[in-house]
Amino acid sequence: MIKEKYEKIYNESYINLNEQQKRAVDRIEGPVLVNAGPGTGKTQILAVRIGKILLEQDVSPHNILCLTYTDAATIAMRNRLVEIVGPEAHKIHIYTFHGFCNQVIQENLDYFGGYKSLEPISDLERVDIYRNILDGLDDEHPLKRFKSDRYYEVSRLRNLFDMMKKEDMDTVPMHEALTLALEQAKLEERFYAKRKYTHPKTGITFQKGDFRFDNYEKYVKEFDLLKSAIDLFPELDKQLNKIGRYDYQDMILWVIRAFKDDSDLLAQYQERYLYFLVDEFQDTNGAQNHLLDLLIQFWDQPNVFVVGDDDQAIYKFQGANLNNIIDFTKKYDPYTVVLEENYRSNQDILDHARILIENNEERLVNHSKDLTKSLNAKGPYADTNNKPKILAFQKISEELTYIAQSIENLYLNEPSILPEIAIIYRNHRQVENLVQVFEKRNIPLNIKRKVNVLELPLITGLINILRFVADEHKTYGRGQHRLFKILHYKFWGNQPLDVGRIAMYCQQPDKEGKYPDWRAVIQNENILNQLELNDSSKILDTAQTLESLIQEAGNITLQSLFENLINQSGLLRTIMQGPDKAWDIQVLNTFFNFIKDESARMPELNLNELLDMVDKMNENGIELPINKIISSDMGVNFITAHSAKGLEFKMVYMLGCTKDIWDKSSGGRHKFKLPTGFNADGENTAEDERRLFYVAMTRAKTNLFITYSERKEDDKELGASMFVDEVLSHPEAEKEKTAVAQDNVIEFYYSLMLKEEKQIPLVEKSLIDNWLKSYKMSVTHLNKYLKCPLSFYFESVLRVPHARNASSGFGNAVHHGLWAYFNAVLNGQPKAITTLQSYFEEGMSKYKSHFTDEEFESYTIHGKKVMHAIHEEKAEQWFGVSKMALEEKIDHAEYQGVPLKGFLDKVEIYDHHVHVVDYKTGKFKYSTAKLKPPSDRDSNGGDYWRQLVFYKILLDSDKKHNWHMDKGAIEYIEPDTKTGEFKYHEAVITQDQIDTVGQQIVETFENIKAYQFDKTCAEDDCAWCNFVQDNYTLDSNLIDEEYGHSD
C-alpha cells in the first residue's frame, strides 16, 4: 500500500488534474484509450492512474504491467512513479516490449532452453546471411543479379523480412494479404476507362467506365519480384539456425508462439497481471500488438489502458503501425478520452499547428464523429501573444546568418536564455556550418550526433594506408594508385608541392616507353634530389615506414600492425600535439577497439579479411558509431525533429523548411513496392512528414520561428515546404521576407571558411606549361573539367594513378567483344550468338586484372546473358549497314586553335553521310540527364549530349576520310531491367549545338592555360574535393582579398 507520505503526494497530484485527465484516471476498469496531444500531461496521468489502482484496488505492484516504447521511457516512467507512489514503484513491472519478452524467456528457460545457446546476430553476420540466400538462387531466379550490384536485393530483402517479423506474418499470411490487397485494387478509379479508348497493339476497345484489365494486369505484374521475395522468407530462419544466431525481432515472436502453443504458459502471465498500461501506443508494431492481445484476451473487458497520439506517430520507419490505434478501437470499443488542455505552448502556436495537422486524413478523429481534437492553452504561457513567425530568406547563407546573429545577440544580452532555445532540423547536415560558426564564436551549445567512424577522414586515411599495404604485400605495384593521396596525409609532414613534382615526374616515360614506378621513386634519394624537392627527407621517411609495414604485414598480428602504423607514421604524435586530441583519440580508439574485438572473435583474422569486412560495412550502411557530444549546461540546443519529441523549449527555430528537405517521402528506394494500402505504414509518406513537422512546432512554449530559403547558393530554386504553406493558410499567419546585410553574410562565411573557398597549391606553372605543349583535348577531359576543375587537375594534369575496377573492366570487355565480333563477321565469319559470347569472354580474360575472382565469375555470367539478348534483338539491324569503321582514332582535329582528339566506337558509313555510335554499359534510367542539351537546370548540358556534338566537331575538322556526320547515337548494351528493351538514343547535331560545345571547348582550354584548377565543385561525394577538404588548409591571404578584409 502507498505509505502516508506518498498518499499525500498522490492526492495533491490527483487534485491538480484537469477534468479530462481525471476521467482517464478514474476509469480503472475495462479498456481505455487516451489520445494525449503534445503538452497534455501524458506521463503524469499514467503515473497517477497507477497510484489510484494501488490505493483503491486490492492488487500488488507486481500485478501491474506497464509497457513502453524505449528504455529511456521506462526510466522516465519509474522516476515519475517514485515521486508519486514512493519505493513501491520499483515493484511495478515496467518494461519495453522486448524487455518483457526477455523476462518471460528468462523465467521459463526450461521451455525456451533451445534458444539459450543462440547468440544475437551481428550486423555483419546479417549481411552474410542475406548474401548467402542470394548466392543460393539459381541463375534464372528473378532476384538473381550479376555485375557490381549482385547483392542489390540484400537491403530490400532485409526490409521486407523485418517488416514481416514486426507484423508477425510468415509466407502464407503475407501472400494472402498481398492477394487481398491486389483484389481490392480493382476498385481503384485508375483502372476504369475515363473515355472510349482502343488499344493500338491489341485492338481491344474500352468504353467509358469499362474495367481496364490490361492496366490492372500490368499493375499486378509489378509485384512479381515481391512475391518471389516473400517465398524466400523461410530461408532466413534456416540460415540463422545454421550459424546459431537469432534476430532481435525473434524474441517477441518466440514468446507469441509460446503463448499460442502453450495455454498454461499464457495463463501464468494472464493471472499475474490484472492491469495493463501501454505508453506511446501509436509507435507499436503488429507483433507487439499481437503480444498485448494475447495477454488481455482472457477477459471480455480487459483492464487495459493505452495512451498515444496519432498525430505524433513519427516512427513508421522503425516499423510502427498507426493502424494499431484504429484496430484497438474497433476490437475493444474502449472508453475514449481526448486530452485537449495543453500546458506547454501559447494558443497561437497551437492554432497554427492545428491548421497544419488537420491536412492529415489518417487521424482518429476522422474515424469517429463523436471525437474532437482541438488543443487549448492552459499553461503559464497561455496568454502570451507571440504568433509563430514564418521567415523567408533569399539564400541559405542568409538564413543561417540570421539565426546565428539572432542567437548571438540573445547570448550577449541574456546568456541565461540559451538553454531555453532549440534549433530543430530534419537532418544533421543542415546545421553543420551553423555549429561550426557557434563553436568559433564561442557561443555555448548542446548537440549529440552519432558519427560513423568509418567515414571520418582520420580513419579513411588509415584504411587507405592499410589497403596499400595489403595490395603491395600481395603484388608489387598493385597499390600504387593510392600513394598520391597517402603522401598528402598531414601526419607525414610532406609538402603538397613536393608530391605534385613527383606526380609530374611519374607521368614522363623513359626511352622504352615505361613510366616511373611511384613506389621506387619515393625510395630513391637521387631522383628526389633531382626533382629539387623542398624536403625530400620527409618523403624518404614516409617510404621507409610504408616499406616496413609491407614487410611486417604477413609476419605480425593485425593489432600489432595497426599499432606500428599509428606510431611509426607519426600519427599518434601529431594527434597529441593537436587542438582536438581528445576527440581524435576517441575516434582512433573506436577503430582500434573494433580491430581488437574482431580479432578476438576470429583469432586468425588477417588484413585482407579486415578490409573486406570494412567494405561490407560501407556497402550495407553498417556504421561503426561514436557519439560526438558538444555539451554545455548553458548552451543553445541543436536537435533533430525526431529527437525533439517529448522535449520543450521557450524558443524554437525550425530551420531549412524547404521542399527538398521535408516534402520527399522516404524509405522507398530500398524496399519492394507494395500495393496501395498494403501495410501502409511500411514507408514514410507526406502524412508522416507532416506529423514530424507538427511535433517540431509543438515543442515551442512562446516563440516559434519557421525559416526557409528560396534558393541555394548556386541560385537553384528551393522553395518552401508544403507544410509551411499549410501553416500560412491560418487566417492570421504571415510570411516575412527577411533581408540580411551582405556584410553580415560575409562575416558568417569568414568565420566558417567554407569548403567552396579552399584552394590547393599547384605544381610549378612551368611544369603545367610543358605538359600543355603536347596536350590534345578529348571529350572525356572536357566533361571532367566542366564538372569539376579540381578533379581534372588531379586526374588529367597530374595523372594520379587510379585503381582498376570491375565496372570499367566489364565495359572494356564488352567493347572488345563487339569490336572483335564485328570484325569477324565483316571478314566472313557467321553471325552466331556463340561467336559474340566467345569474343566477350576473350575480353573478360584480357581485362581479368580488373576483377576479383568472385566478380569475374559473376560479370562473365551476366555478360553472356547480355550478349545473347542483344544479339537476338540487334544482329540483323547491325549488319543492315554494308560498311563500317570500328574504334576509329581521331587525333588531327582542332577547333579555333584548340587541339582535339577522340576515339569513336563505331562509324556506320553510308554513301553521303556517316552515323557515329557510342556504346554504353550503364543503365539507361540513371543516365537520362546526360542525354539532354543545356537548360535552365543544367547550363552545360549532359555529358552524352556533349559527346555526340564533340564527335561532330572532330569529324568536321579531321578530313582524312572526308566524312559528313549527320547523326550520332548512344547505344545501350544492357537491356532495361523492367521492359527488357535495348535503349537507343539518336540525335541530329545542329549548328547551334556545335557553337555551344565549341564555346565550352575554347573557354575550358583558356581556363586550363590560366591554371584555373583550384576551385572545388558543389558535389558532396566528389572524391577529389573531399580529399582537398581533408588534406589542405585555407590560404588566409586569399580570404582577406576575396572578402575585403585585406590590409
Give mean pLDDT, residues 422-433.
Answer: 92
How many other C-beta atoms are found inside a 10 Å radius of the C-beta of residue 662?
Answer: 23
Give mean pLDDT, residues 242-246.
Answer: 88
Cβ-contact 160, 653 below 8 angstroms: no
- What are phi and psi for residue 70, nearest 5 degrees? -130, 160
Q: Which long-range contacts (CB under 8 A, 24 or more apart) does 79-82 make?
A: 80/43, 80/44, 80/46, 80/47, 81/47, 81/50, 81/51
pLDDT at residue 479 in the model: 92
| 694-707 per-position pLDDT tens digit | 999 999 999 999 99
Position 1042 confidence tier, pLDDT thresholds 50, 70, 90: very low
Cβ-contact 49, 28 below 8 angstroms: yes
Three cell numbers written together for 978 = 523492367
pLDDT at residue 444 in the model: 93
Give the β-pairing of 984-988 and 965-972: antiparallel
Least confident of 519-528, 731-740, 763-772, 965-974: 763-772
Position 684 confidence tier, pLDDT thresholds 50, 70, 90: low
pLDDT at residue 350 in the model: 96
Least confident of 280-289, 457-466, 572-581, 816-825: 572-581
Give me the residue spans of the domains in the chain: 4-116+249-339, 119-243, 389-444+635-673+682-754, 454-630, 806-1008
| 67-115 per-position pLDDT tens digit | 998 888 888 888 888 888 888 888 999 999 999 999 999 899 888 877 7
- What are phi and psi for residue 669, nearest 5 degrees? -65, -35
Amino acid at 85: V
Cβ-contact 210, 191 below 8 angstroms: no
Q: Which long-range contacts (CB under 8 A, 24 or more apart) does 536-542 make?
A: 536/498, 538/492, 538/493, 538/494, 538/495, 538/498, 539/487, 539/494, 539/498, 539/499, 539/502, 541/492, 542/486, 542/487, 542/492, 542/494, 542/569
Three cell numbers written together for 860 = 562473365
Cβ-contact 595, 559 below 8 angstroms: yes
- Residue with more model confidence, 173 or 6: 173
pLDDT at residue 616 in the model: 92
Give mean pLDDT, residues 651-661.
Answer: 95
Position 442 confidence tier, pLDDT thresholds 50, 70, 90: confident
The answer to whether the Cα torsion of 819, 824, 825, 830 is positive or negative is negative
pLDDT at residue 772 in the model: 87
Three cell numbers written together for 704 = 516559434
Three cell numbers written together for 337 = 478520452
| 114-144 per-position pLDDT tens digit | 776 678 888 889 999 999 999 999 989 999 9
Three cell numbers written together for 157 = 530483402
Report the SS3 class of residue 750.
helix
Residue 129 backbone zone (phi > 0: left; psi -120 to 50: alpha; other: beta): alpha
Cβ-contact 788, 1022 below 8 angstroms: yes
Whether residue 759 is predicted with pLDDT greater than 60 in this model: the reply is: no
Cβ-contact 256, 287 below 8 angstroms: yes
User: What is the C-alpha radius of gyration for the chain, rounded to an integer number of angstroms?
Assistant: 33
Position 1041 confidence tier, pLDDT thresholds 50, 70, 90: very low
Position 1046 confidence tier, pLDDT thresholds 50, 70, 90: very low
Whether residue 667 is predicted with pLDDT greater than 80 in this model: the reply is: no
Distance (Å, whole) CA 151 – CA 144: 8
In 57-122, which ranges are continuous DSSP H helix? 71-85, 97-107, 109-112
From the list 283, 324, 279, the residue with the least C-alpha distance to 304 is 279
Q: DSSP secondary-structure letter at 314?
A: -
According to the CATH classification, is domain 806-1008 in 3.90.320? yes
Task: Give the Cα-Cα-Cα angle 264, 267, 273 (nearest 5 degrees).
Answer: 150
From the list 606, 486, 597, 478, the residue with the least C-alpha distance to 552 is 606
Distance (Å, whole) CA 136 – CA 124: 18
β-sheet bridge partners, residue 893? 900
- Residue with more model confidence, 285 or 229: 229
User: Side-chain half-sphere of 685: how many Cα atoms within 13 Å?
Assistant: 12
Least confident of 106-110, 996-1000, 1014-1018: 1014-1018
Q: DSSP secondary-structure letter at 777?
A: B
| 786-802 per-position pLDDT tens digit | 998 888 888 888 777 66
Distance (Å, whole) CA 538 – CA 498: 10
Give the β-pairing of 389-395 and 735-737: parallel
From the list 736, 712, 711, 713, the residue with the least C-alpha distance to 724 is 736
Rounded to the nearest 10 degrees, how much is the dihedral formed by the CA atoms of 257, 258, 262, 267? -110
Cβ-contact 844, 813 below 8 angstroms: yes
Least confident of 112-116, 373-377, 383-387: 112-116
Residues ≥6 apart with Cβ < 8 Å to 256: 168, 287, 290, 291, 294
pLDDT at residue 755 in the model: 41
Domain 454-630: give its CATH superfamily.
Answer: PCRA; domain 4 (1.10.486.10)
Position 320 confidence tier, pLDDT thresholds 50, 70, 90: low
From the list 435, 399, 1006, 426, the residue with the least C-alpha distance to 710 is 399
Cβ-contact 358, 675 below 8 angstroms: no
- Residue with more model confidence, 357 or 758: 357
pLDDT at residue 756 in the model: 41
pLDDT at residue 760 in the model: 56
Rounded to the nearest 10 degrees, how much is the dihedral formed by the CA atoms of 171, 175, 178, 182? 170
Give mean pLDDT, residues 307-314.
Answer: 88
Give mean pLDDT, residues 296-308.
Answer: 93
CA 488 to each of CA 50, 291, 504, 570, 1032: distance values in angstroms, whole numbers, following the listed order: 64, 57, 15, 13, 9
Position 1025 confidence tier, pLDDT thresholds 50, 70, 90: confident
pTM here is: 0.77
What is the 3-state composition of the chain as percent helix, strand, coil, each rounded to the nearest 5? 55, 15, 30
Of all residues in the chain, the percent with pLDDT exceeding 90 is: 56
DSSP assignment of 532-601 equals: T-S-HHHHHHHHHHHHHHHHHTTTS-HHHHHHHHHHHTSHHHHHHTSTTHHHHHHHHHHHHHHHHHHHHH
Whether 806-1008 and 4-116+249-339 are alike in CATH topology: the answer is: no
Three cell numbers written together for 166 = 514486426
- What are phi and psi for residue 539, nearest 5 degrees? -60, -45
Considering only the C-alpha atoms of the chain, give the largest distance between any 2 of them, rounded to a whole number of Å.
107
How many other C-beta atoms are found inside a 10 Å radius of the C-beta of residue 912?
Answer: 6
Topology (CATH) of 4-116+249-339: Rossmann fold (3.40.50)
- Residue with more model confidence, 293 or 716: 293
Task: Give the Cα-Cα-Cα angle 679, 681, 686 (nearest 5 degrees).
Answer: 130
Q: To the nearest whole number, what is the mean pLDDT of the chain?
A: 88
Task: Give the Cα-Cα-Cα angle 364, 296, 293 (nearest 5 degrees).
Answer: 55
Whether residue 408 is predicted with pLDDT greater than 80 in this model: the reply is: yes
Whether residue 369 is predicted with pLDDT greater than 60 in this model: the reply is: yes
Distance (Å, whole) CA 592 – CA 595: 5
Cβ-contact 932, 938 below 8 angstroms: yes
Most confident of 302-306, 927-931, 961-965: 302-306
User: Residue written as cell 517521402?
Assistant: 665
With helix as H, strand as E and coil as C, how does 353-402 read? HHHHHCCCCCCHHHCCCCCCCCCEECCCCCCCCCCCEEEEEEEHHHHHHH
Residue 879 backbone zone (phi > 0: left; psi -120 to 50: alpha; other: beta): alpha
701: part of which helix (H) or strand (E)?
strand 700-711
DSSP assignment of 833-885 equals: HHHHHHHHHHHHHHTGGGS-HHHHHHHHHHHHHHHHHHHHHHHHHHTTSSEEE
Q: Give domain 389-444+635-673+682-754's CATH architecture.
A: 3-Layer(aba) Sandwich (3.40)
Q: For residues 850-875, b (16+ Cβ closer than 10 Å) or e, as one string?
A: bbeeebbebbbebbbbbbebbbeeeb
How many other C-beta atoms are found inside a 10 Å radius of the C-beta of residue 675?
Answer: 22
